[in-house]
Structures are given as structure tokens and as C-alpha cells.
Amino acid sequence: MSKWAQSIWLILCGMLLAVPAAATEYAPAPAYTAAADYRLGSGDKVKVTVFGEADLGGDFQVDALGFIRMPMIGQVKAGGLTAHDVETNIRTALADGYLNDPRVAVEITTYRPFYIVGEVQKPGEYPFANGMTAQTAVSVAGGFTSKAVTSTIYIRHLGESTEHKLSATDGTAISPGDTIRVDSTPFWDVLDVLAPLAGVAALRYVVP
């Protein structure tokens, strides 16, 4: 082994030994539980049924301002509300000069997507599905790369500014709008730092 290679190897070993063991802090974090508690947001889609008035119902998407736009009554507040709250809003609007004792049902048909970045095969935006967990989210994104830390992930819930370090298992629930980050192992972090240095050092043996 050349002196240059020995030096790089010693630096690599030293940096790896200097990396502190990651603390396993599976911080509690709010997660999607059931549609009854779910707060609607931009990108969610709902099906509205007005019994006896088929023309007034249909499929609607919550816009960027948190509203759905319906026939006859126009925009209805939905962002930050549960499906039951939206039913009440629609019922109140229809009863205000349009229908006597309207009966309304609101069903969530499509949840806003989740996002996954970092060391997965296909980072990006994906549709949320009921019962989604950390393990299924990673599978949807093509699985871990060879550089990934496979035991933990980081999740930032919609509207939050901090990440939660959680177990990358079926025991970790994913919520609509979550951003998931998969870290690389310390070994690959060190190699990424050394790779440019190794390239420069190699030129010393090529350039006369």
C-alpha cells in the first residue's frame, strides 16, 4: 500500500471512530389516526353528497386557500376542519335560502401526498394511503439505497419546522403531508468528504 493510500485509510478510520453513536430517540409525534379526526388541507379531495339533490354534490378539491367551490353556494371553508365540520358548513349554507332541512355527507376520497427524500431509490412525492407506515413509504419509493441508515428515519409533519427521529418500521405511522428523510451512514458521509481530496491527491501521481 502506498504512503498516500495509508494516509487516506488512517484519516478514514479516525473520522469513523470520531463519529458519535446515534442516540435512538423515538420522539413522540402526532400521526394520522382516523378520518374522523383528520384536518383537511390543500390538495385533499372530498366527495359531497346532498341527499335528494344530486346536482349539488360531487367531487371537490381543497384549494390553496383552504376552500372547496360548490354549485349554488360557492366557496365553503374546509382547510383545518374535519369532514364533519365541512358537512355542517355546507348544511348551514344550503339552509340559508336554498333548501329546507338539507342532509349532507362529506367523505374524504384522496389525501394530500407525502414526500420522501434522501437515501431511497426514487425520492419524490407520492400519494398517501390509509394505514401507511414508515416501512411501506420506503417501499413505495423503491426501497433504501446501499448508503442508507435502515433502522431510523426523520419525519417532519405538515406545518412543523422540526423533524422527529423515528423507527423505520411498520410501527411508525405516516400522516398525509409528511416529509420523510432517510439519512446516509457515517461511513458514506466520510467517503463523500474524502472523495474530492482523493481525486486531487491522485493528480500528484499522474501530472509530471
Per-residue pLDDT tens for 175-186? 999 999 999 887
The ranges assigned to domains in the chain are: 3-33+112-194, 45-110
Domain 45-110 has CATH 3.30.1490.20: no
Per-residue pLDDT tens for 106-124? 999 999 999 999 999 999 9
Q: Is 82 exposed, middle or buried (0-12, 13-18, 19+ CB in 10 A)?
A: middle
115 with 125: CB under 8 angstroms?
yes
Is pTM beyond 0.75? Reply is no
Parallel, antiparallel, or unpaired: how do β-strands 114-118 and 179-182 relate? parallel
Q: Please give the pLDDT value at position 60.
A: 96
Cell output for 189: 458521509
- Which among 50, 58, 14, 37 is positioned nearest to 186, based on CA atoms? 14
CATH fold label, 3-33+112-194: Outer membrane lipoprotein wza fold like (3.10.560)
Q: Please give the pLDDT value at position 18.
A: 46
Per-residue pLDDT tens for 38-73? 889 988 999 999 999 999 999 999 999 999 999 999
